[in-house]
Amino acid sequence: MIAAMPRAAKLAASQAVRDEWLRRVEQEYRSAATTHHLTLWLIQLAVSPDLIRAGLRIAGDEIKHSELSHHTYLAAGGQAGLAMTRESLALRRPEEEPLEHAVTRTTVRVFCLGETVAVPLFKSLRDGCTVPAARKVLDRVLRDEVRHREFGWTLLDWLLRLPLGPALRVIAAHELPAYFGRLRLSYGAMAKNLTAIDPADRAWGLMPPAEYAATVERTLERDWIPRFRTHGIDAKRAWDMSLDVVAGAPPAQVGQRT
């Protein structure tokens, strides 16, 4: 009979694991703030009560994701605190333009892009994850992200049906290349050669940059092109422009419009 591995050895986590889970704690917390603020904007716009309730529920989900991620961070031996400024946990918008403009930008950037790619990303992360503390988080996040994705596309549909819809479609199409560019850069577009990862790190729910990049590229074909097409927006064209747009823009202007 093979002796059972000591519990401490099974749970041993690298610094990379701790760094990644702390980043997830922050990212989930930031998602809660973003969704809560967006939902206030939806209340101001008097959207349907169903959409408002869906937004509030998502904000609660994101707090739970952050809390669960923090448990995993502690289980991995992490001890650092969060380093987010209070001011960064709010959406900003130009006062001189209609609120619908900012709502459209946030919906496209955070939900139609971020929450949509999150579904296959978390599925891939969960496939290799065997450490119970990490697996529990990924199970919950993956279950919730499908609903978060659908919230975004339902909200975009509502926005584009408004009298302002044609102008909002132009804004969405205009912003899409920069949003794609930022997303691609943060998900491995420049590190596709990094295909390997320590098996222990994968067991803790990490994966190499090349897998992030491949998942993002699959999402273009499976989700973004067909879903944006039904709204009259050419996602393939935006994708083809995306890295050039990001490379040519001052960093402060890219994706910081909402």
The maximal CA–CA distance of the chain, rounded, in angstroms, is: 72
70 near Fe ion, rule: CB under 5 A:
no
Count of residues that interact with Fe ion, criterion CB under 5 A: 4
The distance of closest approach from Cβ of residue 98 to Fe ion in the complex, given in angstroms and rounded to an integer, is 26
Considering only residues 13 through 32, tell me which ones interact with Fe ion, judged by CB under 5 A: 28
d(CA 43, CA 242): 32
| Dist. CA 185–CA 189, nearest whole Å | 5
User: Should residue 36 be labelled a site residue for Fe ion when binding is judged by CB under 5 A?
Assistant: no
Can you tell me the distance from the alpha carbon of 110 to that of 115, in angstroms, rounded to the nearest whole number?
6
Q: How far apart are CA 233 and CA 47, in angstroms?
A: 23
Shortest Cβ distance from residue 165 to Fe ion (Å)? 26
Q: State yes or no: residue 148 binds Fe ion (CB under 5 A).
A: yes
Least distance from Fe ion to the Cβ atom of residue 11, Å: 24
Rank residues 216 and 245 by Cβ distance to Fe ion and give the closer one.
Answer: 216
Q: Look up residue 6 and give its amino acid.
A: P
Nearer to Fe ion, 65 or 105 (CB): 65
- Residue 109 makes contact with Fe ion by CB under 5 A: no
Closest to Fe ion by CB, 148 or 231: 148
Question: Which residues lie closer than 8 Å to 125 by C-beta, 6 or more apart?
Answer: 138, 205, 206, 207
Which spans of this chain sit near Fe ion (rule: CB under 5 A)?
28, 62, 65, 148
